[in-house]
Chains A and B, each alone.
Chain A
Amino acid sequence: MMIESFLERATPIWMSMEDDYSDIVISTRIRLARNLDGYRFPLAFTENEALQVEQAVTHAIKDSTELQENYSYFAIKDLTALQRQILVEKHLISPQLAKKELVGSMLLSDDESTSIMVNEEDHLRIQCMTASFQLQKAFEQADKIDRTLEKALPYAFRDTFGYLTSCPTNIGTGLRASVMMHLPALTLTGQMNQIINAMTRLGMTVRGIYGEGSENLGNVYQVSNQITLGKTEDDILADIQSVAEKIIQKERHARGKLMEKAELALEDRVYRSLGTLTYARILTSEEAATCLSNIRLGVDLQLIEGIKATTLNECVVSMQPGFLQHYAGDVLPPAERDRVRAEMLREALFQENMSKPIIGEKGEDSFDV
């Protein structure tokens, strides 16, 4: 497929799936880091080595009958800065891969659930994503690709240290499992710091999703394992599973308490946010993220109706700078982005909101004032 078809969709098909955890967990991601023996790591290799690695990986995928999914290949250097940024915003490639000037490429499955990064920090990074909370499903998909590729590629592996990686923090299983969660009630009630501290002690990390310095923007956090050696894949997944479940439980409890003690205040917050997004003319990404988070909470708590979670997911992705400029069809300075962001969100939410009979001309007639 052409790169454009991947850039057009703010949210991929797999995101629309819902399950029991969809009110809190946005997505699950599994990443496996692998390297080929006999080649230096991307930090130290030559361009020629990079090319050889890339060809070996691309052939291994194309020649495989097991990988029935179609993969599109893109060399990072052939993409514009804006295209790269959009791929980062969709979490299809890492910011580090996007920065590669000479080497670096990606193979992307048609449904965007799998992306294979070549010559990022490691020769190979297999990344599989699912909607909501499905660690096992995402891992099985990544494992399947891994098992297919290992037949064709000479993986760097030692009995003692497992899969060898460029950074010692990925050694062993090379597995990073991340669960992206929306935790507004825990943030609002000031419990997040305590959770983050506890996570660190358990060998896990909690980070914001918009990169460093924007830790809890939009109240979305990513919980992932830090330890990759000395534990089996099953142990790592089980640990993340139980920790994430615990956090979900705490978030639900906090939401319940908020509803019990301050329903009106919460409702006020939700509707003010809806008002802002449907009428504002200038929106910074911080304000937009906060408002979207509040509306999402409102939808989850049924304080508000008629707005689909998928619409909100789309808004969260497309309000980011790369998408916004793609939407506008032009490179925009920050101030101009705030204007376009407001316009885009108005368009996305106004229709949905206004189709409801709570406010508006028809509704007014039926009220006895």
Chain B
Amino acid sequence: MICEHCKQRNATVTVTQVQSGQKVEHHYCDVCASQFHPFHAEFKQEPISIQQLLSNWFGSPSWQQQKAGEKQQAQPQPQTCPQCGFTYKQFLKEGKFGCPSCYDTFSEHLPKLFNRIQAGPQHIGKMPGARSNVYVIKKQIEDIRKRMKVAVDEEQFEEAAKLRDEVKELEKHLQFEGGDVS
């Protein structure tokens, strides 16, 4: 039997529908069936869009929205990105940011989001050239401080003092590069 949709391939899927008490049978090939028949959604792994995920995870459930609505007068206006006018709600709906400034505007919500969809909330990769020195030095300082702590714990004070001097040197360097020492 030939597929009644594409009329090319062999029909391998039979769909039985009950419409107003009457049984209707349709015959499709697996390609056509997978394209438009809803029952296939159970088997086929449809990619879930990022919007859906964001709304499910971070969109407030309806009862909360209602509650928020009741209190609306007392609550501050939702944050709006000054550069593109996006609100956080709009971001959840689109699944995308409107501009780079959105990241600053919504910065308090983002670590939670990135903890879910990424490996963590902090970038540890490459940086644009001008900043990479600052980044590399900060990393070095961090590492040396850890080693310093170990040295102190193990009462190797000479080693600790040496490491402390290294940190001081690097901090001077960092200030020279324009990074904040903190």
- In the complex, the answer to whether B122 meets A160 with C-beta atoms within 8 Å is yes
- In the complex, the answer to whether A171 meets B125 with C-beta atoms within 8 Å is no
What residues of B have a CB within 8 angstroms of the CB of A268 in the complex?
none
What residues of B have a CB within 8 angstroms of the CB of A37 in the complex?
100
B123 to chain A: closest residue by CB: A162
- In the complex, the answer to whether B9 meets A232 with C-beta atoms within 8 Å is no
**Which residue of B54, B96, B124, B129 contacts A230 across the interface (Cβ within 8 Å)?**
B124
B113 to chain A: closest residue by CB: A168
B103 at the interface (CB under 8 A from A): yes
- In the complex, the answer to whether A151 meets B129 with C-beta atoms within 8 Å is yes
Chain A positions 154-212 with a Cβ under 8 Å from a chain B Cβ: 155-169, 171-173, 175, 196, 203, 212
A153 to chain B: closest residue by CB: B128
The number of inter-chain residue pairs (CB within 8 angstroms) is: 120
What residues of A have a CB within 8 angstroms of the CB of B9 in the complex?
284
Distance, CA A167 to CA B94, complexed state (A): 9
Q: With A40-B99, A44-B86, A158-B103 given, is the CB distance from A228 to B118 under 8 Å?
A: yes
Distance, CA A165 to CA B110, complexed state (A): 13
Main secondary structure of the interface of A (DSSP, over half): loop
What residues of A have a CB within 8 angstroms of the CB of B127 in the complex?
157, 159, 162
- In the complex, the answer to whether A167 meets B95 with C-beta atoms within 8 Å is yes
A297 at the interface (CB under 8 A from B): no
Distance, CA A158 to CA B100, complexed state (A): 9
Distance, CA A276 to CA B131, complexed state (A): 59
- In the complex, the answer to whether B86 meets A230 with C-beta atoms within 8 Å is no
Q: Which of B8, B114, B117, B125 has the most CB of A within 10 A?
A: B125
| Closest CB in chain A relative to B46 CB, distance in Å | 8
**Band of interface residues on A:** 35 or more
What residues of A have a CB within 8 angstroms of the CB of B103 in the complex?
158, 161, 164
| Closest CB in chain A relative to B141 CB, distance in Å | 15
B88 at the interface (CB under 8 A from A): no
**Which residue of B99, B104, B117 contacts A39 across the interface (Cβ within 8 Å)?**
B99
Distance, CA A286 to CA B47, complexed state (A): 21
B24 at the interface (CB under 8 A from A): no
What residues of B have a CB within 8 angstroms of the CB of A166 in the complex?
96-97
What residues of B have a CB within 8 angstroms of the CB of A150 in the complex?
128-129
B98 at the interface (CB under 8 A from A): yes
A213 at the interface (CB under 8 A from B): yes
- In the complex, the answer to whether A230 meets B118 with C-beta atoms within 8 Å is yes
What residues of B have a CB within 8 angstroms of the CB of A157 in the complex?
127-128, 131
A231 at the interface (CB under 8 A from B): yes
**Which residue of B45, B97, B99, B119 contacts A168 across the interface (Cβ within 8 Å)?**
B97
A133 at the interface (CB under 8 A from B): no
Q: With A151-B129, A168-B114, A284-B8 given, is the CB distance from A160 to B31 under 8 Å?
A: no
| Closest CB in chain B relative to A310 CB, distance in Å | 30
A40 to chain B: closest residue by CB: B99
A35 at the interface (CB under 8 A from B): yes
| Closest CB in chain A relative to B44 CB, distance in Å | 8
A148 to chain B: closest residue by CB: B129
Q: With A40-B83, A157-B131, A173-B123 given, is the CB distance from A230 to B114 under 8 Å?
A: yes
- In the complex, the answer to whether B50 meets A169 with C-beta atoms within 8 Å is yes
A98 at the interface (CB under 8 A from B): no
- In the complex, the answer to whether A212 meets B47 with C-beta atoms within 8 Å is yes
Distance, CA A227 to CA B119, complexed state (A): 6
- In the complex, the answer to whether B125 meets A41 with C-beta atoms within 8 Å is no
A18 at the interface (CB under 8 A from B): no
Q: With A40-B83, A44-B86, A150-B129 given, is the CB distance from A230 to B100 under 8 Å?
A: no
What residues of B have a CB within 8 angstroms of the CB of A228 in the complex?
118
What residues of A have a CB within 8 angstroms of the CB of B31 in the complex?
286
A138 at the interface (CB under 8 A from B): no
Q: With A43-B96, A157-B128, A286-B31 given, is the CB distance from A227 to B118 under 8 Å?
A: yes
Known: A39-B100, A157-B127, A161-B110. 16 other contacts (CB 8 A): A38-B100, A43-B94, A45-B99, A157-B131, A160-B107, A162-B123, A164-B100, A168-B50, A168-B113, A168-B117, A171-B118, A230-B121, A230-B122, A284-B9, A286-B31, A335-B8
Pairs across A and B, CB under 8 Å, 5 listed: A143-B126, A150-B128, A157-B128, A167-B97, A229-B121
